Amino acid sequence: MITMTSRDFNQDTSQAKRAALYGPVFITDRGTAAHVLLSIEDYRKLVGIQGNAVELLACPDTEAFDFEPEKLRGDMFNAEELS
């Protein structure tokens, strides 16, 4: 477990990011833990997210469904606006 003061964090963010590769970095504010810095891998494990953003947006676990939006009623544009 690594702990940094908020002042140390502000002065050397790179060190905090490197330390987060080995585990959570607790950032204190006036001696009290206020924030935790995690690597993205540790965060995903914590919240149960698996895969990358593209895979998650593809929604592989959802079934295919038909999408038939209702037709618009009335004129969407005036003919003069389109010419």
pTM for the model: 0.57
Write out pLDDT tens, residues 13-33: 999 999 999 999 999 999 999
pLDDT single digits (tens) 35-63? 999 999 898 888 887 666 666 666 666 66
Give the C-alpha distances (Å, rounded to integers) separating 46 from 2, 7, 19: 18, 27, 18
Domains and CATH numbers, the chain: 2-60 (3.40.1620.10)
- E strands within the chain? 2-5, 25-29, 32-37
Phi, psi of 37 (to 5 degrees): -105, 125
